[in-house]
Structure 1
């Protein structure tokens, strides 16, 4: 048996792993509700995307109005969830630098939706000032999404699914900003919405464990 070496380095961690920051003002039910709302937003986006790709909007005016209403509701819900995600990340992980890209995404998303409601299919009949403005806003929205993804990726101590969400925003934002790949950008952006749902459910489970 080897004698103990009093000069050997200690074999235990000298500093305990940091405990999760308390989520004051948040409840399990609230976080679960945000998770379910994220699922609703994801399903709404899927329905809108499917209708845009598969349905001839000129056939039925009522269908077009229903699509516009659903699209607007989805954008508003997505904006709300994005703001709640910002508040959660800042409190739980001490994330910083989220305010500008988040608010830019909210405002640009609403502006883009407003332009689509105002001008509709006329945006793509020919290239004019309206079309250039629309795509300029689209590029800025992509840049803001990319920026947010980078800030989320730099958040210390985040959940693994949180980092996956950040990468989805980075990829989707870059594709959106390219304009040429904006249709394909739908896939990673929908993936980001799915990850947001999982982040809220993960946070709810964590908070439930702290209360037990």
Structure 2
């Protein structure tokens, strides 16, 4: 090969490497989330993500909290802003993000005390459904609920509210699972 030919080949090789690098970068930028870099991901339902206030995404906890009791129960982790629905065998069958109420119960074990299915006005004025109450803080009932409009906005901190909000799909699942007397374990 002549000296001129080897220069052309080297130039073409360099150009090909640049092109491959650009294509690889574009492919990784457009890859679905499940093919992106490994690691924990936040799980937000479509209705919640459409209406939720912008917030820093937290990594999804890997497992049910160790200090959350045994048997059939609902586990509410205050710091993680997450709920798990746990069947009688101790297996978490569903987990989802929630928006905490302005008033939070202390960590401990509670029981579902009352439920209200039809839409009603929440303590913050938002129309809600599938209310599952389990605690009382400062005279205000605290319970899980879903806003009829699907929103999960943070409560006004100047109001004493007790609604732990979730998406409507998650609210439906909670309603089906958490009957009066069902154990609710609140952890930090």
Between structures 1 and 2, the one with greater strand share: 2
Give the number of the structure whose alpha-carbon radius of gyration is greater. 2
TM category (shorter chain) comes to: under 0.3
TM-score by length of 1: 0.24
Give TM-score scaled by structure 2 length: 0.26
